[in-house]
Structure 1
Amino acid sequence: MGVYEELGLSPAINASGKMTALGGSVLDDTVVAAMAEAARNHVVMDDLMKVAGDVIAKATGAEDGCPTTGAASGIAIAVAALIAGTDPDRIERLPDPGDRPSEVLLLKGHSVNFGAPVRQMVALGGGRVVEIGSVNKVSVAHLEGAVTERTAALLYIQSHHTVHKGSVSLADMIAVGRRHDIPVIVDAAAEDDLRHWPATGADLVVYSGGKAIGGPTSGLVCGRRALIEACRAQYTGIARPMKVGKETVLGLLQALRGYGDDETGDGGRERMTALAARLGQLPGVTATVERDEAGRSIYRAVLTVDPAAAGRDAQEIARELAAGSPPVFLRDHQANIGRLSIDPRPITADDEAELARRITALLGG
């Protein structure tokens, strides 16, 4: 009996992606080993955090880096660093910014909820979000006109959750930041090209360690050395309840060292093409293969459900699969418009076979 079964739980089949709600990533043996070794020894945490910064810098191409408990805490810490810097008094007063600039400009189409509102993460760091433009229409002039002496940062969210139509590009946002000497933070939580986003000229970039990187539930901030020093300083303030343990730091660093070693090259396209061909024969299901909407090299099988022919709609299919044993979770962000996706990254060959069997049994194919 496994550790989950001992608690009365059933391990899930995760075809949704590297999702926080399903525990992030399944860890590589080398990551587990690094975490186990870290757990057996003491270390000076300040020294570990600085050495970790060197490893993060090498992996991302940035000047320095700071481990965090996740991308969400990374946003809060980055905002706090830009408001309080390394001043102990200001750090201890946060989230009250005092007389410091604290407005964080955010495109309205980027004001998303990724399990919690991004606005709340900014507020934890002492910032106040100012939304710019409309969800599907915002110009450089909108952004430029919102800059005042109270502006502390510009925040750009790179995610499938955000609206890109009619929006300002990151390059344009960075140009505005340069003109006004205002730092730009990029939340690239689930992105898989770790060197791309720091190379854009963003001052701070936030990643999740438990998604594309394949590490434990964790995250990191990378960027300019002086700003990363301020990020580390926040662990004596608002980041104290977000502190990252030695085991997690070592697991994250091992995942970074091994990142990209197991790339297959096709992003799951071949597997998902075969699966789509199989599931597309079920009544009421049209199956295709689509590339990730945020541009990453991930190919998913997409099932478009005709409720009349399938006997249930996409939302009902997702609920019934999740309620079974073992629970099966599809990517259901678009279930309300009849679309369900299958992400190849978290599922093994056995998971894939069980998933196909369950969907087939459900739809009577």
Structure 2
Amino acid sequence: MDGTEIPALRRPPAIARLLQAPAAQALVAAHGRPLVVEALRAAAAEFRARAGAGAAEAEILGAAAQWLARHTRGLRPVLNLTGTVLHTNLGRAPLPPEALWAMTEAAGAADLELDLEAGRRGERDSHLEALLCHLTGAEAALAVNNNAAAVLLLLRALASRREVVVSRGELVEIGGAFRIPDIMHEAGCRLREVGTTNRTHAQDYAEAIGPRTALLMKVHRSNYIIEGFTAEVAEEELATLAHRHSMPMAVDLGSGSLHDLARWGLPQEPTVRAAITAGADLVTFSGDKLLGGPQAGLVVGRAALIAKLRRHPLKRALRLDKTAIAALVAVLRLQADPDRLAQRLPVLRLLLRPQAEIASLAERLRPGLAAVLQGAAEVAVTTCESQIGSGARPADLLPSAALALSPRRGSTADALAAALRRLPVPVLGRVTHGSVLLDLRCLEDPASFESQLPLLPGLLAG
């Protein structure tokens, strides 16, 4: 508009007339005419719903611009200062540069299902199978789009209409209401619970085995712990029992660490190789947790069983696309070089970040943040604890440091957190005890944080 005041309109102007305005033409250039027309119609409908309230053309154009922003923004990068390294809501593992480059390279035409040497159709899992077998000691491997899909495929291919024996203490529910019993139901299996919540013995499994039993399954309790008077059956013993009855033993490992994290002084997490060595016939795990790659569900184990999974019709519905496979292969290459993994894999680098380094960064950032928040909040450096996240070692916390924003003069922690989320690159912390904590463990680019700080006072005022 030209800046002159436009009288309120008693009824919405015609869409054709609105489209002639310079502001509308700018929206058309950015989004295309069909979307802008829909946005203008939505804004005009909102105007009519006001029961006769007046509105200027500028108001309708502004509402249309907001509608377009809401409906076309897609994914936005954010700064993860929550203290949870593998945050499910934020996409879990940050990808290394090697994976990003591999995805770009594979975005065009690629030999996804082509055997270049033989000149005939190939298998997409072949690009990652050798690396997975090398890293886990398995005979064969395949990949699907997440670990829930891997478990579903395993159960559907090997145990449909039959029984699967699982300890009652391992019937977990993880984020998004994903429950092992529900997955078994969807796979057409009958769940056979054994033992109690806190104690399950080998005899419990043995007594449950019958003519309808398809396999024994062990589920890693990745998102909670049971302490005190407890007992569980070791993987070696469970595998021996399963093989004695000529059936497979499967392990759902969840977080899927390929290396012993104790090597770097982190809390120990079960490894895929250890499960295979213990006798597991199939192991399922995630690609975007401790492995540090893209979203994926991986299955490794005996070649004959992997072949059954690969032939099942459900495999096609759950398969990975070419960019995810490319990223996964790049990450597996990094995993094959554990001596340099701590420097090259972002998730491991963030988990290993020393508290002193994080505290030093907090001290450097505090004055700038305090200056822009004066009157709204006090800013202090405080110690805190980070967590791995995504169900990995929930009871083990990592010493960290944070900027604590304590509201003053009528402000609230929720208002501070909302203003931080409205920054061009949203900043996500956590609200605790009436303050906003910005855990800096995952902040590797401080400039991306500092450059936005001058915008905070305006966002708080609005």
Change (3 A) 1:14 1:290: closer
Taking the aligned partners of 1:339 and 1:162, their CA distance within structure 2 comes to: 26
Match of 2:174 among 98, 107, 113: 113
Q: Look up the SS of the partner of 1:105 in the other structure.
A: strand
Match of 1:231 among 286, 289, 309: 309
Q: Offset of 1:47 from its aligned partner?
A: 2.6
Contact 1:67 / 1:221 at 8 angstroms: preserved in 2? yes
Taking the aligned partners of 2:414 and 2:250, their CA distance within structure 1 comes to: 36
Aligned residue number for residue 125 of structure 1: 187
Taking the aligned partners of 1:138 and 1:343, their CA distance within structure 2 comes to: 40
Q: Which amino acid aligns with 1:197?
A: V
Q: Offset of 1:320 from its aligned partner?
A: 6.6
- 1:328 partnered with 2:328: no
Change (3 A) 1:255 1:274: same
Q: Offset of 1:267 from its aligned partner?
A: 0.9
Q: Look up the SS of the partner of 2:124 in the other structure.
A: helix
Q: Which amino acid aligns with 2:258?
A: D
Q: Look up the SS of the partner of 1:54 in the other structure.
A: helix
Contact 1:158 / 1:186 at 8 angstroms: preserved in 2? no
Change (3 A) 1:209 1:141: closer
Change (3 A) 1:355 1:187: farther
Taking the aligned partners of 1:132 and 1:17, their CA distance within structure 2 comes to: 35
Residue deviations 1:291-319 (CA, integer Å, cap 9, x gap): 7571899835377999999x999888767
Residue deviations 1:50-70 (CA, integer Å, cap 9, x gap): 342212111223222111111
Aligned residue number for residue 80 of structure 2: 14
Aligned residue number for residue 41 of structure 1: 110
Q: Offset of 1:20 from its aligned partner?
A: 3.8
Match of 1:199 among 260, 274, 284: 274
Aligned residue number for residue 86 of structure 1: none
Taking the aligned partners of 1:23 and 1:187, their CA distance within structure 2 comes to: 21
- 1:219 partnered with 2:284: no
TM-score (norm 1): 0.71
Residue deviations 1:258-279 (CA, integer Å, cap 9, x gap): 2354414771123345467899
Match of 1:253 among 329, 348, 357: 329
Q: Look up the SS of the partner of 1:258 in the other structure.
A: helix
Change (3 A) 1:194 1:208: farther
Q: Offset of 1:132 from its aligned partner?
A: 4.3
Contact 1:64 / 1:225 at 8 angstroms: preserved in 2? yes
Q: Which amino acid aligns with 1:269?
A: P
Contact 2:421 / 2:428 at 8 angstroms: preserved in 1? yes
Counterparts of 1:85-234 in structure 2, within 5 Å, are 97-98=160-161, 101-108=162-169, 110-119=171-180, 120-135=182-197, 137-140=198-201, 143-144=204-205, 147-149=208-210, 150-151=212-213, 152-159=215-222, 161-166=223-228, 167-169=230-232, 172-181=234-243, 182-194=247-259, 196-200=271-275, 201=278, 202-234=280-312
Change (3 A) 1:213 1:134: same
Aligned residue number for residue 61 of structure 2: none
Aligned residue number for residue 354 of structure 2: 269
Taking the aligned partners of 2:332 and 2:397, their CA distance within structure 1 comes to: 19
In the alignment, structure 2 segments of 5+ residues that lack a partner are: 1-68, 115-120, 261-270, 344-348, 371-377
Aligned residue number for residue 92 of structure 2: 24
Residue deviations 1:184-222 (CA, integer Å, cap 9, x gap): 333333343347333232322222222333322223111
Contact 1:285 / 1:306 at 8 angstroms: preserved in 2? no
Q: Which amino acid aligns with 1:117?
A: F
Higher mean C-alpha displacement, 285-294 vs 203-212: 285-294
Instruction: Among all aligned residue pairs of Structure 1 and Structure 2, give the percentage whose two residues are the same amino acid.
Output: 22
Q: Which has the higher contact order (CA 8 A, sep 6+)?
A: 1
Contact 1:153 / 1:183 at 8 angstroms: preserved in 2? yes
Taking the aligned partners of 1:351 and 1:215, their CA distance within structure 2 comes to: 25
- 1:287 partnered with 2:383: yes
Taking the aligned partners of 1:341 and 1:290, their CA distance within structure 2 comes to: 11
Q: Look up the SS of the partner of 2:383 in the other structure.
A: strand
Higher mean C-alpha displacement, 247-256 vs 313-322: 313-322
Aligned residue number for residue 91 of structure 1: none
Change (3 A) 1:41 1:241: same
Taking the aligned partners of 2:201 and 2:413, their CA distance within structure 1 comes to: 39
Taking the aligned partners of 1:232 and 1:53, their CA distance within structure 2 comes to: 12
Aligned residue number for residue 90 of structure 1: none
Taking the aligned partners of 2:393 and 2:401, their CA distance within structure 1 comes to: 15
Aligned residue number for residue 350 of structure 1: 446
Contact 1:276 / 1:289 at 8 angstroms: preserved in 2? no
Contact 2:165 / 2:194 at 8 angstroms: preserved in 1? no
Bigger radius of gyration: 2
**Aligned Cα RMSD in Å?**
4.5
Taking the aligned partners of 1:323 and 1:146, their CA distance within structure 2 comes to: 58
Higher mean C-alpha displacement, 205-214 vs 266-275: 266-275
Contact 1:132 / 1:142 at 8 angstroms: preserved in 2? no
Taking the aligned partners of 2:151 and 2:416, their CA distance within structure 1 comes to: 35
Q: Which amino acid aligns with 1:156?
A: V
Change (3 A) 1:126 1:290: same
Aligned residue number for residue 6 of structure 2: none
TM-score (norm 2): 0.58
Taking the aligned partners of 1:33 and 1:245, their CA distance within structure 2 comes to: 16
Taking the aligned partners of 1:353 and 1:118, their CA distance within structure 2 comes to: 38
Residue deviations 1:235-264 (CA, integer Å, cap 9, x gap): x2x233212123322221111102354414
Contact 1:155 / 1:186 at 8 angstroms: preserved in 2? yes
Contact 1:287 / 1:303 at 8 angstroms: preserved in 2? yes
Q: Offset of 1:113 from its aligned partner?
A: 2.1
Change (3 A) 1:130 1:163: farther
Count of matched residue pairs? 335
Aligned residue number for residue 58 of structure 1: 134
Q: Which amino acid aligns with 1:344?
A: R
